[in-house]
């Protein structure tokens, strides 16, 4: 029987989260697994977020506020500062958003899968465990949404990296990382829209990813964070969005190519040869454009969720690469 005495570090990046943060902190306090520490970093809030955090930190020694003189870094760098502060110091790391609510067994369930995976692959293997989640509105009422894309892609775990070069399907708030993976994250590339994508790529390229098809949290949707999964709408509305945002889509495609290039530069010495060769060839052909990258993508099962999205992505890949302005 496994011993569950590991300390779990939870990093929460916040900004003007006073409206929802209390519910999130309470849901962490109410976890069935109690050996955790919650480290929160505020990015310069002008509401009562910091006051709420300080109240909880006085009541529970497991909660602390990471303070520095940097403000308004954005979510990506806010999490980046947190990850930097715990690298080399934590056993396992989880990430938390300020406006979600965790199920009471979230830590325990994820840790169980982490320990099982480490037992199978060894503790020295960089491992990322991520779970499903439930969409809810701002009042925590259930929302209908498409099935989590990670469920379909998790059916072929050996090809996760091939899918990730085209789009991210891992949410930071569902992750648990072991210390070996945390040590590899380093500075988050500026070409990543968020921290989630960079972490997912590092994990897929350097270690092992496991998806748990069970919701462990309520993923709150409000006017500031409506998910793409809830924006899909009708085919007509999707086409209108595509036509209206084609220039932006091309720019995003180009940034993802540079993101993969940064990944290669950062993890050059330790990446498995197979993954390194795949990524190098992807970057080379994607920058070149034209038919070769189309053939490469097809042969290597590079795809996005759904046939239409994959088709559009291939059209984007064929287009000439340009450095972002």
Is the predicted pLDDT of residue 4 greater than 90, yes or no?
A: no
**pLDDT band at 70; cut points 50, 70, 90:** very high
319 close to 289: Cβ distance less than 8 angstroms? yes
More confident call, 267 vs 273: 273
Shortest CA distance to 92 belongs to which of 76, 112, 78?
112
Structure letter (DSSP) for residue 128:
E
**pLDDT band at 321; cut points 50, 70, 90:** confident
- As to burial, measured by CB atoms within 10 angstroms (0-12 exposed, 13-18 middle, 19+ buried), residue 145 is middle
Is the predicted pLDDT of residue 150 greater than 90, yes or no?
A: no
pLDDT digits (tens, 9 = 90+) for 277-294: 999 999 999 999 999 999
Shortest CA distance to 9 belongs to which of 98, 91, 127?
91
Per-residue pLDDT at 1: 44
pLDDT digits (tens, 9 = 90+) for 78-132: 999 999 999 999 999 999 999 999 999 999 999 999 999 999 999 999 999 999 9
pLDDT digits (tens, 9 = 90+) for 196-212: 999 999 999 999 999 99
Two tokens, residue 145? 């949404």
Q: Where are the alpha helices (DSSP H) in 207-290?
A: 235-244, 246-266, 273-288
Average pLDDT estimate for 179-190? 96
Per-residue pLDDT at 144: 83
pLDDT digits (tens, 9 = 90+) for 213-264: 999 999 999 776 645 455 555 555 555 555 557 788 888 899 999 999 999 9
Indicate the average pLDDT of the chain.
90
Lowest-confidence pick of 24-28, 146-150, 166-170, 244-248? 146-150
The beta strand positions in 171-261, using DSSP E, are 175-178, 208-220
Average pLDDT estimate for 145-159? 61
**pLDDT band at 158; cut points 50, 70, 90:** low
- As to burial, measured by CB atoms within 10 angstroms (0-12 exposed, 13-18 middle, 19+ buried), residue 294 is middle
CA-angle at 278, arms to 147 and 84, nearest 5°: 70
Per-residue pLDDT at 153: 57
More confident call, 296 vs 321: 296
Is the predicted pLDDT of residue 155 greater than 90, yes or no?
A: no
Shortest CA distance to 76 belongs to which of 91, 90, 95, 102?
95
Per-residue pLDDT at 325: 64
**pLDDT band at 305; cut points 50, 70, 90:** confident
Is the predicted pLDDT of residue 62 greater than 90, yes or no?
A: yes
For the chain, the first-to-last Cα distance in angstroms comes to 55
3-state secondary structure 284-319: HHHHHCCHHHHHHHHHCCCCCCCHHHHHHHHHHHHC
Average pLDDT estimate for 142-170? 76
Phi/psi of residue 96, nearest 5 degrees: -135, 140
């Amino acid at each position: 029987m496994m011993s569950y005495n590991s300390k779990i570090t939870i990093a929460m990046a916040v900004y003007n989260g006073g409206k929802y943060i209390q519910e999130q902190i309470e849901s962490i306090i109410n976890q069935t697994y109690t050996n955790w520490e919650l480290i929160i970093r505020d990015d310069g809030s002008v509401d009562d977020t910091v006051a709420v955090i300080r109240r909880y930190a006085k009541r529970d020694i497991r909660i602390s506020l990471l303070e520095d003189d940097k403000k308004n870094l954005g979510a990506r760098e806010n999490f980046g500062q947190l990850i930097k502060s715990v690298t080399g110091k934590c056993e396992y790391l989880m990430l938390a958003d300020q406006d979600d609510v965790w199920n009471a067994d979230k830590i325990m369930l994820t840790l169980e899968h982490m320990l099982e995976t480490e037992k199978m692959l060894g503790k020295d293997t960089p491992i990322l465990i991520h779970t499903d989640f439930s969409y809810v509105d701002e009042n925590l009422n259930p929302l209908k949404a498409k099935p989590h894309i990670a469920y379909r892609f998790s059916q072929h775990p050996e090809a996760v990296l091939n899918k990730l070069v085209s789009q991210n399907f891992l949410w930071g708030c569902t992750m648990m990382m072991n210390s070996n993976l945390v040590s590899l994250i380093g500075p988050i590339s500026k070409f990543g829209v968020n921290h989630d994508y960079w972490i997912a790529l590092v994990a897929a390229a350097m270690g092992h990813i496991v998806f748990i098809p069970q919701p462990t949290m309520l993923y709150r949707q409000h006017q500031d964070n409506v998910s793409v999964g809830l924006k899909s709408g009708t085919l007509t509305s999707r086409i209108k969005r595509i036509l209206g945002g084609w220039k932006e889509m091309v720019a995003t495609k180009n940034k993802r190519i540079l993101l993969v290039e940064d990944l290669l530069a950062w993890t050059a010495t330790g990446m498995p040869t197979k993954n390194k060769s795949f990524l190098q060839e992807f970057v080379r052909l994607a920058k070149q454009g034209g038919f070769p990258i189309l053939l490469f993508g097809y042969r290597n099962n590079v795809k996005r969720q759904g046939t239409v999205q994959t088709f559009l992505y291939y059209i984007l890949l064929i287009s000439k690469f340009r450095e972002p302005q």
